Each structure stands twice: as C-alpha cells, then as structure tokens.
C-alpha cells in the first residue's frame, strides 16, 4: 500500500469530504472543497506558498477555538515572532510595557482584520508574497488594501484616536510573551492541543526550524518597524517612504527567489495557490483589513511585534484576531481556494460564501462607525 498523502485547499471548513483516489498506490486523499457546489466536490490542490493568516487560524484550531480539522496546529512561527520581538526589544532597551484605552474596540478591530483576511485568504504579508509569485488575485486585492489604508488615513486626519498609550507595570507587557511560551511548552510536551492529520495544519517545517525562523524574522520586524499598513499610511500622511522600502525589499527578494526556483507563474486561478478570483471580494476583504489595521495602529504582523515588545493594546488586538479566526470557521465566513479536480484535471474556482460576504460588509460599516465616532479630544 502506498503512503497516505493529504492535500487540501485552505478556507472555510464547514464542508469536508474524504474519498479514496484509486491509483496504483492505493492512496487515501483528503480534499477540502467548502463553498462549492456538491457537483464540484472531490477537488483539491497542493499548497505551495507561505500562508501567514492560516498560521493564526491553525494555532486557534489547535487550542480548540474552532473545529476545522485541517487547520489545527500550534504554529511555532507565530510564537517565534512574538518572542523574537520581545527578546530583541529587551536586549536593545526598547521594551516598553504600555496600555491605552478602548480595549473592546481594539478587540473588535482584531476580529474584523481576521474576517477581512479570510475573505481574501491572506494577511498583508501573504498578499505581498503572493504578488511576488505572480498571483494576479493578490494584485487586485492590493488595490483594496491601498483604498482601505487611505480611508483610515482620512479618519486620522479628521481626528480619529483610540487614546494615548501609558506606561504600565513591566510585567503587564510580558503577559502575551509568557502565554506564547506556555503554548509552545504545552504543544511540544503534551497532547493537550489538537494537531491536524491532513490539510494545511499538517504541513509544516520541523518545530526547531520554524521557531528559529520566527525568532529571526520577529527580531528583524521589530528593528525595521515593518508594517504593511503603516508603510502606505506614512506615504499618504507624511510622504515618508522609509517603511515602504522595507516592504519593497521583501518583495524583491521573494520575486527573485520565485523566478530562480521556477515558482513565478502569472495568472488567476493558479492551482497550488490558496486563492479565489472573486475580484470584488478580494478588494473588499483587503479593504477591510487595511481600514481596520490603520485604526488599530498596525497590520497583523505589526500587532504581533508590538505585543511582543510590551504593548497591551496590541495584545488585545491579537486576541481579537484569534477569536476572529474561530468565528470565521465556526460560522462559515472564510472563502475557499481554487482547486484542481484530480479526476478531470479541471480547475474549480474558489468562492466566498454568502455568510462571508455579509460579514465583510458589516465589518466595513463597523469600521466607519469606529473611525468617525472616536475623536481625539474624546479619547484623552
């Protein structure tokens, strides 16, 4: 008998089907095809590209926040990002334990960011990585992201503020780093957390390599002040190109890598890329992320880094993102990716479920309410 091999397309996991592909090796394959008509089930594709937003989803699933069996794994990369930022900020005396105001609004913005990201199927980091691989869906979504950041900047110019951050006890800012250390210990030394046997959650590098990679990138992101929303915000607001140069450097490195390794493929509906080609919802999904990220003070990556260097405000936003991930998968909001039917070899387009579309619109409305009802003079 051949070795059991699992292949999957990320996204909404309310509908999941297992079937046996009768090949010479007698493989048992598990395909994920939520959000598609039943006539198109039994479709799947191999995952080739990095998927940062799904890493948060996997970690939420490992803790039992949702029951999507293919998205359950405590990702060491996420833990490494927080710890890398914490360690480097302490070492360079940049650690500041701070907290501000409006914690519930920050929590809500974290939820909104994750809903928008899972409608698009990626956070801003993954969007840029997909752009560097030739995915035109990501370029379409980039338009929405710029518009969302621009809307957030307009709110800032009109006095939006959630209040100033204030210095707090040093131990307060270290809570989230301590929590992720606890998660790492429990994930590696016990069977308390869930772990996917198929799909994206089962596809990961060795724990040590993942953790070290996260630590290094977390330290780099902290020192470079890397922020995808902040880079565009600074251009619009202050004509400052410092942050965008970091993002551009990342894009160029990934572009060269993809071209050199033959992974650069220009097109829509490319099998192997977790994406869909519903252009309106790619735009609106990332519009939501860009808008909410500016209001929250940074993109998902930046929130993790700020939480690592002591910001309780960002820690609350990060918790909101994990809860948002659970909401997306428990209530069928996340989109499904384009898949390749293994029998007919036909490409089956991904889709955004109706629930996800409604949720995305509601999130945009909430962002406008938050943006124009929280003024600087009221948030002191």
- Of 120, 123, 137, 141, give the one whose Cα is nearest residue 53: 123
What distance, in Å, lies between the first and last C-alpha atoms of the chain? 67
Lowest mean pLDDT among 133-142, 199-208, 331-340, 341-350: 199-208
| Paired tokens of 295 | 């209001």
Q: Using alpha carbons only, what angle is made at residue 181 by residues 177 and 182, rounded to the nearest 5 degrees?
A: 115
Q: Check the CA dihedral 68-62-132-138 and report its sign.
A: positive
Rounded to whole angstroms, the Cα distance separating 40 from 348 reads 7
| Paired tokens of 60 | 């939420």
- Of 162, 63, 151, give the one whose Cα is nearest residue 364: 151
- Of 76, 75, 78, 98, give the one whose Cα is nearest residue 309: 98
Per-residue model confidence as pLDDT tens digits over 98-130: 998 899 999 999 999 999 999 999 999 999 999
Residue 247 banded pLDDT, cuts 50, 70, 90: very high
347 phi, psi to nearest 5 deg: -80, 125
- Of 164, 376, 132, 380, give the one whose Cα is nearest residue 260: 132
pLDDT at 20: 29
Mean pLDDT, to the nearest integer, of 149-164? 95
> Is 115:328 a contact under the CB 8 Å cutoff?
yes
pLDDT at 193 over 80: no
For the beta carbon of residue 59, count every other beta carbon within 10 angstroms: 26
pLDDT at 203 over 60: no
> Is 352:276 a contact under the CB 8 Å cutoff?
yes
pLDDT at 136: 95
Secondary structure class of 369 (helix, strand, coil): helix
pLDDT at 271: 57
pLDDT at 32 over 60: no
pLDDT at 243 over 60: yes
> Is 154:279 a contact under the CB 8 Å cutoff?
no
Residue 317 banded pLDDT, cuts 50, 70, 90: very high
Mean pLDDT, to the nearest integer, of 348-366? 94
pLDDT at 11: 35
* CA distances for 320 relative to 203, 229, 315, 339, angstroms: 25, 18, 9, 30
pLDDT at 12 over 60: no
Residue 270 banded pLDDT, cuts 50, 70, 90: low
pLDDT at 196: 61
H or E element at residue 19: strand 16-20
Rounded to whole angstroms, the Cα distance separating 146 from 359 reads 21
Mean pLDDT, to the nearest integer, of 157-184? 91
> Is 354:119 a contact under the CB 8 Å cutoff?
no
Instruction: Read off the DSSP letter of residue 310.
Output: T
Lowest mean pLDDT among 133-142, 147-156, 295-304, 329-338: 329-338
280 burial level (CB within 10 Å; 0-12, 13-18, 19+): exposed
Mean pLDDT, to the nearest integer, of 301-313? 96
Rounded to whole angstroms, the Cα distance separating 301 from 53 reads 10
Q: How many residues does the chain have?
A: 380
pLDDT at 64: 57
Beta bridge partners of 19: 29
Rounded to whole angstroms, the Cα distance separating 318 from 216 reads 20
pLDDT at 299: 96
Residue 74 banded pLDDT, cuts 50, 70, 90: low
Residues of 203-227 as b/e, b for ≥16 C-beta within 10 angstroms? Answer: bbeeeeebbbbbbebbbbbbebbbb
Residues of 298-328 as b/e, b for ≥16 C-beta within 10 angstroms? Answer: bbbbbbbbbbbbbbbbbbbbbbbbbbbbbbb
pLDDT at 200 over 70: no
* CA distances for 258 relative to 130, 147, 268, angstroms: 10, 28, 17
pLDDT at 213: 92
> Is 134:279 a contact under the CB 8 Å cutoff?
no
Position with higher pLDDT, 313 vs 61: 313
Percent of the residues in the chain that have a pLDDT greater than 90, as a whole number: 59
Mean pLDDT, to the nearest integer, of 13-21? 30
Rounded to whole angstroms, the Cα distance separating 165 from 171 reads 16
């Amino acid at each position: 008998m051949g070795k059991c091999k699992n292949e999957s397309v990320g996204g909404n996991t309310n509908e999941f089907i297992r079937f046996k592909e009768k090949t010479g090796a007698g493989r048992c394959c598990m395909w994920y095809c939520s959000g598609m008509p039943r006539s198109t089930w039994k479709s799947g594709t191999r995952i080739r590209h990095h998927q940062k937003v799904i890493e948060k989803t996997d970690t939420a699933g490992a803790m039992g926040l949702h029951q999507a069996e293919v998205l359950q794994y405590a990702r060491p990369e996420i833990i490494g990002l927080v710890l890398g930022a914490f360690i480097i900020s302490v070492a360079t005396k940049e650690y500041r334990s701070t907290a501000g105001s409006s914690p519930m609004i920050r929590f809500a913005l974290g939820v909104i960011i994750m809903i928008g990201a899972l409608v698009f199927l990626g956070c801003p980091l993954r969007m840029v990585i997909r752009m560097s691989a030739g995915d035109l869906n990501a370029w379409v979504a980039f338009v929405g992201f710029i518009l969302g950041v621009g809307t957030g900047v307009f709110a800032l110019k009109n006095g939006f503020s959630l209040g100033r951050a204030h210095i707090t006890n040093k131990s307060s800012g270290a809570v989230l780093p301590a929590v992720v250390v606890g998660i790492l210990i429990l994930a590696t030394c016990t069977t308390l957390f869930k772990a996917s046997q198929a799909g994206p959650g089962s596809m990961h590098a060795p724990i040590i390599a993942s953790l070290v990679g996260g630590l290094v990138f977390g330290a780099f992101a902290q020192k470079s002040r890397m922020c995808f929303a902040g880079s565009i915000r600074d251009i619009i607001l202050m004509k400052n190109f410092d942050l965008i140069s970091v993002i551009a450097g990342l894009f160029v490195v990934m572009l060269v890598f993809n071209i050199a390794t033959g992974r650069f493929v220009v097109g829509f509906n490319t099998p192997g890329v977790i994406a869909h080609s519903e252009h309106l919802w790619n735009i609106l999904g990332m519009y939501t992320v860009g808008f909410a990220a500016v209001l929250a003070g940074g993109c998902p990556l930046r929130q993790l880094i700020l939480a690592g260097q002591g910001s309780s405000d960002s820690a609350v936003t990060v918790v909101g993102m994990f809860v948002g991930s659970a909401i997306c998968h428990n209530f069928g909001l996340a989109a499904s990716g384009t898949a390749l039917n293994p029998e007919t070899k036909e490409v089956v387009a991904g889709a955004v479920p109706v629930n996800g579309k409604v949720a995305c619109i509601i999130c945009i409305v909430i962002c406008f309410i938050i943006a124009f009802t929280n003024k600087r003079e009221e948030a002191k």
